[in-house]
């Protein structure tokens, strides 16, 4: 009988781990002994020496020992238990706001304690709030820690002390049952077992600066393996996807020329380059998986229209999906203007298309009389049956989960072929993120703005100068221009956002009575939103008060001024997207960031970056530094790209080698590749099977 490996031994084999604790550990993704070893510390504490109370410094973490001189219940704004501890150098107070009657009884005068915590200044002098402590036996000295003490990501009902005890047992078992080394030897300078031991229990001689920054060779060894696991998942997804059949769509030069000659503008060199890349992909008998990145206003929609045209020329259907009804409506208008004169029939499907109208659209999609279909999430629904889907275009990919975009491919299974996929985003993705988060996609970049676009001039103004900003709006509208006034709120609440926008609209009606003012927010019905946008597009309203619902895709070339209230509440990418709604015509455009003082250091930095550059890719890199990959990708809520030890910014230098290693491992060591994915992604492997 073969010996069990650590990924096969359940946590219940450890001393003190019963079914109740095992259930709590499950919330941390811990099922086996191997899972414990890869549940890595977030930071460390130094508990290797005692600090005399008289030498304890404010705002530092220390270990102290002393005798309890008295414990009292204190009633102030909050009830607390205060316990005075003394050694031969001084006195300190332990304060507990949450305590049990048993805890209160155990903390008896005369008992000796060893405590660990942060020293603060309180009403009684030096204090520690909720320190960790243990009782000492005067006759049996308690040894101090011989290594740095790990602090782990925890879940409710599991103390740090319990996690450390479990980790110590797992480390001991690692000596008995070897932990499988999955990386080829040439790729690591430090053995896996050595790295794991070091990271859970670093010696006191460990370089604290490297550990704190995640740059110690042991941490880098594991960071490499974790990023490799993510990369392997995506590459495997891609390989599986590309083993499927897709319709080989030939390029129709004549139809393309007819389309291009009907446009009122010339394509930029970048648009032409990306169009050729897409044409070549579509001609392959396996599915295209291409991400097109382009800064706001770079002209991605016309590139998507050319892809749809190539699809229709081969007798197939193309589906274009957008995350909001406003953006879907805009795509429908553009595609109708461009494609209907060429004899191409369209369908339109969103949540607001109901009843008889919906039946008509669904029938046209199913019988093939609709060749290009534009819609929102509604296109995912089971009732939507395509006649012969050849291409799906997904706009603003980061708004959709990977599962959603993969669900669309099944809509083409009726013809035993997988549709090609074109994914577009106007949120530039930093190169490091593109290499790791989108390794399953080929990337194209439209890095050129159409001629005639003027950079938006951005100014940062404090709220006490609000009246000046209102006068600026009055002047712009008096000169025949249009303006946006964007309201933001800290609370992620449609109701509160709508109330704020409505209150601002009332205020602006009073201060600018001569202007026609529109209002759009997430609580309006679809028809009301569409009416508000149409009135603004047609120039019937001069000023549009909006929430961030207008962030993506809204295109009104006469709008040359945007005021964003409380911009410090938004991320850089969102601010850049909003700003991209102006500067779409030939007039000089302005964006006013109307902030509320005082600004946090990060808020100050964000607004400074917005003032300095209009380059979306530069802004994306800065955003990554400020907010981290989960926030930038918009995937934090789904757990995608949540890394245990790796950091995409810090570890970017590892990515080129990871890319090569992943390709080699899939080709030559597939079983080891699968084991690395299981080790790091566990049961939550994010994309599942395609």
Could you report the per-residue pLDDT of 11-65, keeping only the tens digit for each? 999 998 998 999 899 988 899 999 999 999 988 888 888 999 999 999 888 999 9
Q: Is residue 623 part of a domain?
A: no
pLDDT tens digits along 458-488: 999 999 999 999 999 999 999 999 999 998 8
Q: Is residue 66 part of a domain?
A: yes
Same domain membership, residue 506 and residue 595:
yes
pLDDT of residue 390: 94
**CATH number of domain containing 131:** 2.40.50.140
Domains held by the chain: number: 4
Q: DSSP 3-state assignment of 1?
A: coil
The four Cα atoms 456, 459, 464, 465 give a dihedral, to 10 degrees, of -70
pLDDT tens digits along 372-415: 999 988 887 888 899 999 999 988 755 555 555 556 666 655 55
Same domain membership, residue 219 and residue 208:
no
pLDDT tens digits along 101-142: 889 999 999 999 999 989 999 888 899 999 989 899 888 888
- Give the C-alpha separation, 397 to 552, whole Å: 12
Q: Is residue 631 part of a domain?
A: no
- Dmax over Cα atoms in the chain, in whole Å? 95
Give the position of tokens 């031969």.
Answer: 88
- Give the C-alpha separation, 121 to 128, whole Å: 8
- Structural domain containing residue 247: 214-453+644-690
Same domain membership, residue 404 and residue 297:
yes
Phi, psi of 439 (to 5 degrees): -70, -15
Same domain membership, residue 331 and residue 461:
no
Same domain membership, residue 160 and residue 133:
no
Band (642; pLDDT cuts 50, 70, 90): low
- CA nearest 574: which of 652, 657, 488? 488
Question: 10 Å Cβ neighbour count for 471?
Answer: 12
Question: 10 Å Cβ neighbour count for 582?
Answer: 27
Rounded average pLDDT over 564-576? 86
Q: Above 90 in pLDDT, residue 280?
A: yes
Same domain membership, residue 596 and residue 539:
yes
Q: Above 70 in pLDDT, residue 684?
A: no
Q: Is residue 622 part of a domain?
A: no
Give the position of tokens 């460390």.
Answer: 44
The four Cα atoms 156, 160, 165, 171 give a dihedral, to 10 degrees, of 100
**CATH number of domain containing 345:** 3.40.50.300
Q: Is residue 2 part of a domain?
A: no
Same domain membership, residue 483 and residue 409:
no
Question: 10 Å Cβ neighbour count for 361?
Answer: 21
Q: Is residue 635 part of a domain?
A: no
Please, how many CA atoms are within 13 Å of residue 157, restricted to the half-sphere of its CB?
9
Work out the angle at residue 293's Cα, subtended by the Cα atoms of residues 291 and 299, and round it to the nearest 5 degrees.
Answer: 115
Answer for the pair 407, 415: CB distance below 8 angstroms, yes or no. Answer: no
Q: Residue 79 forms beta bridges with which residues?
A: 75
The structure's pTM equals 0.69
Rounded average pLDDT over 512-538? 88
Same domain membership, residue 279 and residue 135:
no
Answer for the pair 128, 118: CB distance below 8 angstroms, yes or no. Answer: yes
- CA nearest 440: which of 414, 405, 408? 405
Rounded average pLDDT over 254-283? 94
Q: Is residue 638 part of a domain?
A: no
> For the range 239-242, what are the long-range contacts, defined as Cβ-Cβ under 8 Å and sequence gap of 24 or more?
239/666, 240/689, 240/690, 241/287, 241/289, 241/409, 241/418, 241/440, 241/690, 242/286, 242/287, 242/289
Band (234; pLDDT cuts 50, 70, 90): confident
Same domain membership, residue 592 and residue 563:
yes
Question: 10 Å Cβ neighbour count for 601?
Answer: 7
Answer for the pair 644, 226: CB distance below 8 angstroms, yes or no. Answer: yes
- Give the C-alpha separation, 79 to 611, whole Å: 49
* pLDDT-above-70 percentage for the chain: 90
Same domain membership, residue 339 and residue 198:
no
Q: DSSP 3-state assignment of 276?
A: helix
Same domain membership, residue 333 and residue 197:
no
Same domain membership, residue 233 and residue 376:
yes
117-150 in b/e burial notation, b at 16+ Cβ within 10 A? bebeeeeeebbbeebbbeebeeeeeeeebebbbb
Q: Which strands, in side-by-side order, build the sheet including 346-349? A: 346-349, 372-375, 317-321, 389-395, 420-425, 289-294, 442-446
- Give the C-alpha separation, 308 to 330, whole Å: 16
Q: Residue 289 forms beta bridges with which residues?
A: 421
Q: Is residue 620 part of a domain?
A: no
**432 or 541, greater pLDDT:** 541
């Amino acid at each position: 009988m073969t010996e069990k490996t650590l990924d096969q031994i359940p946590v219940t084999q450890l001393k003190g781990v019963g079914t109740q604790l095992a259930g709590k550990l499950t919330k941390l993704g811990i099922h086996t002994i191997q899972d414990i070893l890869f549940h890595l510390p977030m930071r460390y504490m130094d508990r290797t020496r005692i600090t005399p109370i008289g030498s304890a410094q404010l705002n530092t973490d220390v270990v102290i020992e002393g005798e309890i001189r008295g414990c009292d219940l204190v009633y102030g704004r909050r009830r607390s238990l205060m316990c005075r501890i003394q050694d031969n150098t001084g006195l300190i107070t332990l304060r507990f706001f949450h305590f049990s009657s048993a805890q209160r009884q155990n903390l008896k005068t005369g008992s000796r304690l060893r405590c660990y915590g942060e020293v603060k200044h309180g009403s009684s002098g030096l204090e520690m709030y909720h320190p960790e402590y243990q009782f000492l036996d005067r006759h049996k000295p308690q040894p101090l820690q011989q290594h740095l003490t790990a602090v782990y990501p925890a879940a409710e009902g599991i103390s740090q002390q319990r996690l450390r005890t479990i980790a110590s047992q797992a480390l001991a078992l690692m000596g008995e049952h070897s932990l499988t080394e999955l990386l080829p030897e040439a790729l690591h300078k430090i053995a896996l077992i050595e790295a794991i031991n070091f990271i859970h229990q670093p010696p006191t001689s460990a370089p604290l600066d490297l550990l704190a920054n995640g740059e110690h060779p042991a941490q880098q060894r594991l960071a490499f393996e974790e990023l490799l696991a993510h990369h392997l998942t995506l590459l495997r997804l891609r390989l599986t996807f590309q083993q499927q059949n897709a319709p080989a769509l030939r390029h129709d030069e004549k139809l393309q020329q007819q389309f291009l000659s009907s446009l009122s503008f010339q394509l930029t060199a970048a648009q032409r380059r990306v169009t050729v890349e897409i044409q070549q992909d579509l001609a392959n008998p396996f599915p295209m998986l291409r991400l097109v990145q382009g800064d706001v206003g770079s002209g991605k929609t016309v590139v998507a229209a050319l892809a749809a045209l190539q699809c229709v020329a081969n007798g197939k259907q193309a589906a274009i999906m957008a995350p909001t009804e406003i953006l879907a409506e805009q795509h429908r208008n553009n595609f109708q203007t461009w494609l209907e004169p060429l004899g191409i029939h369209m369908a339109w499907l969103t949540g607001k298309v109901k009843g008889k109208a919906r039946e008509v659209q669904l029938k046209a999609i199913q019988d093939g009389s609709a060749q290009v279909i534009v819609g929102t999430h509604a296109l995912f629904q089971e009732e939507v049956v395509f006649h012969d889907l050849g291409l799906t275009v997904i706009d603003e990919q980061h708004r959709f989960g990977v599962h959603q975009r993969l669900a669309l491919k099944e809509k083409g299974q009726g013809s035993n072929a997988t549709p090609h996929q074109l994914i577009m985003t106007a949120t530039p993705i930093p190169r490091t993120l593109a290499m790791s988060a989108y390794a399953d996609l080929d990337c194209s970049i439209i890095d050129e703005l159409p001629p005639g676009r003027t950079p938006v001039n951005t100014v940062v103004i404090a709220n006490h100068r609000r009246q000046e900003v209102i006068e600026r709006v009055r002047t712009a509208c008096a000169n025949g221009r249009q303006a946006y006034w964007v309201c933001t709120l800290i609370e992620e609440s449609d109701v509160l956002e709508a109330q704020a926008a409505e209150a601002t609209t009332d205020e602006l009606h009073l201060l600018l009575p001569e202007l026609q003012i529109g209002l759009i927010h997430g609580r309006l019905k679809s028809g009301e939103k569409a009416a508000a946008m149409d009135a603004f597009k047609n120039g019937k309203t001069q000023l549009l008060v909006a929430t961030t619902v207008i962030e993506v895709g809204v295109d009104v070339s006469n709008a040359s001024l945007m005021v964003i209230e409380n911009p410090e509440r938004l991320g850089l990418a969102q601010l850049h997207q909003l700003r991209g709604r102006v500067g779409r015509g030939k007039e000089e455009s302005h964006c006013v960031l109307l902030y509320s003082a005082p600004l946090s250091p990060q808020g100050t930095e964000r607004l400074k970056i917005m003032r300095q550059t209009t380059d979306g890719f530069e802004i994306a890199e800065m955003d990554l530094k400020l907010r981290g990959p989960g926030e930038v990708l918009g995937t934090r809520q789904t757990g995608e790209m949540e890394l245990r030890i790796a950091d995409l910014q810090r570890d970017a230098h590892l990515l080129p080698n990871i890319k090569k290693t992943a390709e080699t491992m899939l080709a030559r060591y597939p079983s080891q590749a699968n084991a690395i994915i299981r080790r790091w992604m566990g049961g939550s492997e994010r994309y599942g099977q395609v």
